[in-house]
């Protein structure tokens, strides 16, 4: 496995963890993980990249080694602002290449429309939004949110890392045992008594009080100027679980200029776990020229 280093910095009052692979001076890729995931999940894809890259992947607030917020719940505007600060810290002088999976793909896609001048190329791994909500749902959503705030959300813990690894394989039968064992060590942490708890704030389970508004997301997507690759797993059930009709998904894709599509054979929604080699090839099909250029610049220096 390629070695990664852990960087920590203050982002809007939150101690953020950013995992870094590769050398300083190489072309950078920023990789954004999804809901209930962590930055280390990109290890398998990074191992398969052929170019000379520096990959930077944050743990979102409330995940992995990043600090938990003191607020009642988590919402997208904070992710947009966190991402903007992270990019300003690591690459303030030029647009960035973004790869985002699931929730991270939604964040990357909307951010690329909100701040189009900051994104050079975009790879969206099954992150084109959630089911649209009717405004009439708002009273019930707010009531549910208030009710959930009164409770104590929690995740189950596990006997040891082995039990957590088995749980990951149950959730994704395509996940090989050795990858599950690696992920368990990063998704979980050993607590007093030896049991393993998830490295995620249980408040991620609290429903977002603000309805998802597809029209607003579409307006952001129309602002994207970067060449964009939409990647989907051949066997993914994510869109069915989110209850997004195919026609609606097609409309959302149509709203993104310069969009190309690719399907990863043999992969489900967690394509970075299932088929990291195929996904790495897809990413480098869009970003490969950047790595070659950076290598040439380094040789000429």
Q: What is the pLDDT of residue 34?
A: 96
Start-end of H helices in 70-137: 76-90, 103-114
Q: What is the pLDDT of residue 45?
A: 98
- The Cα–Cα gap between 168 and 223 comes to 37
Residue spans per domain, the chain: 4-132+213-300
- 203-220 pLDDT per residue, tens: 999 999 999 999 999 999
Cα 146 from chain centroid (whole Å): 28
- 93-149 pLDDT per residue, tens: 999 999 999 999 999 999 999 999 999 999 999 998 888 999 999 999 999 999 999
Residue closest to 124 by CA, chosen among 16, 264, 3? 264
- The Cα–Cα gap between 48 and 288 comes to 13
- C-beta of residue 286 within 8 angstroms of C-beta of residue 227: yes
Ranges in the chain, pLDDT < 50 = 290, 292-301
Question: What are the tokens at 271?
Answer: 């394509």
126 phi-psi bin (left φ>0, alpha ψ -120 to 50, beta other): left
Q: What is the pLDDT of residue 130?
A: 87
Task: Select the CATH number that applies to the domain covering 4-132+213-300 from these four: 2.60.120.1570, 3.40.50.1820, 3.10.560.10, 1.20.120.1730.
Answer: 3.40.50.1820
- Counting every residue written for the chain, the total comes to 301
Residue 42 class from Cβ within 10 Å (0-12 exposed, 13-18 middle, 19+ buried)? buried
Q: What is the pLDDT of residue 299?
A: 33
Q: What is the pLDDT of residue 289?
A: 52
- C-beta of residue 128 within 8 angstroms of C-beta of residue 239: no
Single pTM value for the model: 0.93
Q: What is the pLDDT of residue 297?
A: 38
């Amino acid at each position: 496995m390629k070695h990664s280093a852990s960087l920590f910095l203050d982002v809007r009052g939150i101690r953020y963890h950013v995992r870094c692979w590769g050398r300083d001076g190489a072309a950078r890729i920023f990789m954004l993980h999804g809901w209930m995931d962590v930055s280390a999940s990109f290890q398998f894809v990074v191992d398969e990249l052929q170019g000379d890259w520096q990959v930077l992947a944050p743990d979102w607030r409330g995940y992995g080694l990043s600090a938990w917020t003191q607020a009642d719940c988590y919402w997208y505007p904070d992710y947009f602002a966190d991402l903007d600060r992270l990019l300003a810290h690591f690459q303030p002088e030029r647009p960035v290449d973004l790869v985002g999976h699931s929730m991270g793909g939604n964040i990357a896609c909307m951010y690329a429309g909100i701040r189009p001048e900051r994104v050079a190329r975009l790879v969206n791994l099954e992150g084109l939004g959630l089911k649209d909500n009717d405004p009439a749902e708002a009273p019930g959503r707010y009531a549910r949110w208030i009710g959930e705030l009164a409770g104590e959300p929690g995740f189950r813990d596990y006997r040891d890392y082995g039990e957590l690894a088995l749980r990951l394989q149950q959730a994704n039968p395509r996940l090989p045992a050795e990858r599950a064992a690696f992920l368990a060590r990063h998704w979980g942490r050993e607590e007093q008594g030896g049991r393993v708890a998830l490295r995620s704030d249980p408040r991620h389970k609290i429903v977002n009080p603000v309805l998802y508004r597809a029209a607003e997301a579409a307006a952001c997507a129309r602002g994207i100027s970067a060449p964009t690759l939409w990647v989907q797993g051949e066997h993914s059930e994510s869109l069915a679980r989110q209850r997004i009709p195919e026609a609606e998904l097609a409309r959302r894709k149509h709203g993104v200029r310069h969009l190309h599509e690719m399907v990863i054979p043999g992969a489900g929604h967690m394509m970075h776990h299932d088929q990291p080699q195929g996904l790495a090839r897809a990413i480098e099909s869009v970003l490969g020229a950047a790595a070659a250029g950076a290598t040439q610049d380094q040789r000429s220096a």
